[in-house]
Chains A and B, each alone.
Chain A
Amino acid sequence: MAHILLRHRDVENIHKLDVYRANGGYEGLKKALTEMTPAEVIDVVRASGLRGRGGAGFPTGIKWGFIPKDAEEVYILINTDESETGTFKDRELSEKNPHQVIEGAIIAAYAVGAKRIYNYFRGEFMDAGYAMEEAVQECYANGLLGENILGTDFSCDFVCHYGAGAYICGEETALIKSLEGERGQPWSKPPFPAIEGLYSKPTVVNNTETMANVPQILVNGAEWYTSMGTEKSTGPKIVCMSGHVENPGNYEVIMGTTYRELIEMAGGMRDGKAFKALLPSGGSGPVITADALDAPLTYEGLDAHNSVMGSASVIVMDETTDMVWAAQKMIHFFHHESCGKCTPCREGTFWMEKVLHRLMNGQGTEKDIETLNSVAAQMKGRTLCALGEFAINPVLSTIRLFPEEYKAKVKNSQSEDWEKALATQ
């Protein structure tokens, strides 16, 4: 099947404007600007059921509809901060199919009355950003950005901006703070960005992949889009497959594809080893095991397995993987990336990493599992943003699904080393 998002895999040189246009590019924008009112654009996106592809899954059309109609200064922010462990889809889109992202963003700008779009790349993605800068220049030179786009009254600018290494800037309010020149630390909502966002003006923040979905919705209509996927999860989704599969990479599928099928698409388990577990949403979602492999990739598909699709960054682990080690790797990530603003996250990730570290180093105690559960309980529902909420997922889910591995670590600690460690404390 032809790709809807990763179109560069079907059409050579689609990163170039003439090739993109020769293949239907900017037709969605043309239709929006010349045949539709902004309200009609929002309606069709709402009817398509498109939901945020960054992980949270908020309906895109509804988000756009929150922008006050009489607002004079509105901003569109594209979130290309892509920093979740296991996620590499927005980078591919930006490098290889940048015009589709730009077109989606201009349509969004028209829908909400924004005159400027900022694309926030993580600092490590300057190469990808450079590819998009070239596409932006082509747009300016051909009347697709700047004054009077496609000869209409609508004018809009597009600016690529670069962070400097901070996972937290993928959180929308932290991204806004970072773009304002501050440390990227989230604020407690409300106010929501739709009312008070960048420079305290109404702001839409959408993920890169979300934007790439918009142009063809305009061209082909909402019904075309809802014909793909399930009732609550429509359209295509890029899945980032990593870890112990034969062929890691991005795979574009229709929502509803099962996790088992995804592993098969990625060439199956590496070296023929047996599947053990996977993280469906990078480090942020709870681990699932073989009993969940026939669940569909949808926003609601993993509800019964206490997990989430999230950004669909699937990290696959085979039978040789030490799950306590995996949990330690993830908590190290969240501890490193915690912005430090709220106490439960800053302290909680610190202590969880400390406890997992000593479990891994043969210095664990009987009480450690209890301590991990207790710290997690003190973080849950008490952090400023979702980072702290996510951080506990890989730890709690591995304790729940692989308790024997944690117990074995404690048992192995009852050694001379362990006694030595206690004696020196």
Chain B
Amino acid sequence: MIADKYAEEIEGILARFPHKKSAVLPLMHLAQREYGYMSEDAMREVAGILDLDPTHVLSLAGFYSLFHEEPTGKYVLEICNDLACALRGADEFVEMVCRKLDIPLGGTTEDGLFTVKGVMCLGACDRAPMLQYNLKFAEHLDEEKFDNLIAYLREEAASGEEPPSVVEKIAAYAKK
């Protein structure tokens, strides 16, 4: 339950707005961090904290592209293949990534570690090819750097130790 795990953070987030409905996106980010995707339970929980109808949270999960409505791999690799990145090889980069991980775009690796998505502009067009993994930027990529990133993430996953995500770091700032 995020209400227990992040009680102080949630209290702080709610204090930032005169109307608590405004806290829905920050709470959804926390819920997704906790459950990996916007499961029905996660949506009901956020709705419960904010006295919203769960269908409202569902409508936001569908509208905003950062929320996953289905379970994903542990790391979601979101590769920008918009025009500016594509002019610098993003389409070929996407193909290479899919080939290496042996999954189609949108797919998840068998070990459940990686999901690959093609996404719209991420504000790093000068550093293409690039991707975000769990909201972190990886830029100026090529095959070698991608291999290194995957090796690093596999190691991180195997160690069982995970650095706090930026979602948690930001939520911590909201603590009173």
B-binding residues in A (CB < 8 A) = 82-88, 90-91, 122-127, 129-130, 133, 137, 159-167, 178-184, 199, 240-244, 248-250, 279, 282-283, 313, 315-317, 321, 326, 329-330, 333, 336-337, 339
Contacts and interface: CB of A to CB of B under 8 A. Distances in A.
Contacts of B65: 164-166
A130 B124 CA distance: 17
B122 A161 contact: no
Contacts of A122: 123
Contacts, number: 155
Contacts of A183: 59-60, 63-64
B74 interface: no
Contacts of B121: 83-87, 167, 282, 333
B69 interface: no
Given A123-B64, A333-B121, A336-B120, 14 more contacts: A84-B121, A123-B135, A124-B66, A133-B170, A161-B16, A162-B26, A164-B65, A164-B66, A166-B64, A167-B120, A182-B21, A242-B126, A243-B84, A313-B125
Contact of B88 (A88, A130, A164, A243): A243
A240 B26 contact: no
- Ranked 4 nearest A-B pairs via Cβ: A165-B65, A181-B21, A164-B64, A248-B126
The A interface is mostly helix, strand or loop, or mixed, namely mixed
B120 A315 contact: no
B83 A127 contact: no
A180 B19 contact: yes
A86 B86 CA distance: 11
Contacts of B83: 85-86, 243, 279, 283, 315, 326, 329-330, 333
17 contacts: A83-B123, A85-B121, A86-B84, A87-B125, A88-B125, A88-B126, A130-B166, A161-B16, A162-B170, A164-B64, A164-B66, A165-B67, A184-B64, A282-B121, A329-B86, A337-B120, A339-B63
Nearest to A136: B173
B133 to A, nearest CB: 12
A87 B123 contact: yes
A83 B64 CA distance: 13
Contacts of B84: 85-86, 242-243, 282, 315
Given A162-B29, A183-B59, A329 B166 contact: no
A266 B50 CA distance: 49
Contacts of A336: 120
Interface string B62-105: 01111100000000000000111011100000000000000000
Given A85-B82, A242-B87, A242-B126, A130 B29 contact: no
Nearest to A125: B123
B107 to A, nearest CB: 19
A91 B65 CA distance: 19
Contacts of A137: 173
A161 B24 CA distance: 11
Contacts of B16: 159, 161
Interface of B: 16-19, 21-26, 28-29, 50, 52, 59-60, 63-67, 82-84, 86-88, 119-128, 132, 135-137, 166-167, 169-170, 173
A91 B16 CA distance: 23
Contacts of A130: 166, 169-170
A164 B22 contact: no
Nearest to A169: B64
Nearest to B67: A164
Contacts of B19: 180-181, 199
Contacts of A282: 84, 121
A140 to B, nearest CB: 11
Nearest to B16: A159
Contacts of A243: 83-84, 87-88, 125
Nearest to A185: B63
Nearest to A181: B21
A203 to B, nearest CB: 13
A258 to B, nearest CB: 21
Contacts of A83: 120-121, 123
Contacts of B64: 123, 163-166, 183-184
Contacts of A330: 83
A291 to B, nearest CB: 21
Contacts of B22: 161, 179-181
A92 to B, nearest CB: 9
B125 A126 contact: no
Contacts of A159: 16-17
B31 to A, nearest CB: 12
Contacts of B18: 199
A158 to B, nearest CB: 10
B87 A244 contact: yes
Contacts of A84: 121
A393 to B, nearest CB: 13
Chain B CB count within 10 A is highest, among A83, A165, A321, A326, for: A165
A10 B24 CA distance: 40
Contacts of B52: 181
B46 to A, nearest CB: 11
Contacts of A161: 16, 22, 25-26
A126 B164 CA distance: 13
Interface centre among B23, B82, B122, B123 (most CB of A within 10 A): B123
A323 B120 CA distance: 19
B66 A129 contact: no
A326 B19 CA distance: 43
Given A129-B170, A333-B82, A124 B87 contact: no
